[in-house]
Amino acid sequence: MKMFSRAYNLFIKDLRSELRTRYAINALIMFILVAISVILFSIGNEKIPPQLTAGLYWVVIFFSAMSGLSRAFVSEEEKGTTLTLQLVANADIVFSGKLLFNLSLTFFINLIITFLYAAFFEDFVINNFSLFLITFFFGNIGLAISSTIIASIIAKAGAKGTLYPVLSFPILLPLILTCVQLTIFCFDGINIENSVYELAIVISYDIVMITISYLLFDFIWKE
């Protein structure tokens, strides 16, 4: 319980820091607006199939994660506060705090993306809302966990900007592909019973990634 409270306080520190410095949030919102506008202009009056709509939806989610979620660790490294954090909290508390921050950022940003898609894309019609909620929930958790651990790995590297998407792409590919498939199921109104295989992949992915992350982070954090 005390560990959770300490991690929560680290999350609150990151949240207050973000609200003061606008380190990630402004860049993320601008990215989303630009990406969705470009897609809308490109499509014009064309009618696009649900497969493409689902794919474009997760492409925007993937790249917004790439442009914002690395900040959790990169900002500490750039500000030079990594050592300070190492002196006040153990690795599991730091990872939990950063994960909480990335989870809230992921859910916040992806809710905006979903509302914008629902408002501007005619074909973004969800016929199985409960399946969409489950996909959105577990997909975002997987995205936040993977992005957090990859961010901690690349934070100390020189070419962070390039390395982050390069490392993230193969790690996030199984999650993104399965989430695209599940989103297509949501558009087609397919039952949860008929989506169990894909849902199991997403949930298993989340469990594997969180286990690996907690096992690895201690080594990453101590150099």
Where on the chain is the footprint of another protein (CB under 8 A)?
2, 5-6, 9-10, 12-13, 16-17, 20-21, 79-81, 83-84, 86-90, 93, 97, 222-223
Residue 223 makes CB contacts below 8 A (sequence gap 6+) with 156
What CA–CA distance (Å, rounded) separates 181 from 74?
A: 32
Distance in Å, CB of 106 to another protein, minimum: 22
As measured in angstroms, the least distance from the Cβ of 10 to another protein is 5
E strand or H helix at 45, and its extent? none
Dihedral (CA of 36, 39, 44, 48) sign: negative
The one-letter amino acid code at 30 reads: M
Closer by beta carbon to another protein, 99 or else 116: 99
Q: Is 156 helix (H, G, I), strand (E, B) or coil?
A: coil
- Residue closer to another protein by CB (options 93, 175) is 93
CB of residue 25 to another protein, shortest distance in Å: 14
Residue nearer to another protein on the CB measure, 97 or 139: 97
Question: What is the smallest separation between the CB atom of 61 and another protein, expressed in angstroms?
Answer: 29
Helix (H) or strand (E) holding 43: helix 25-43
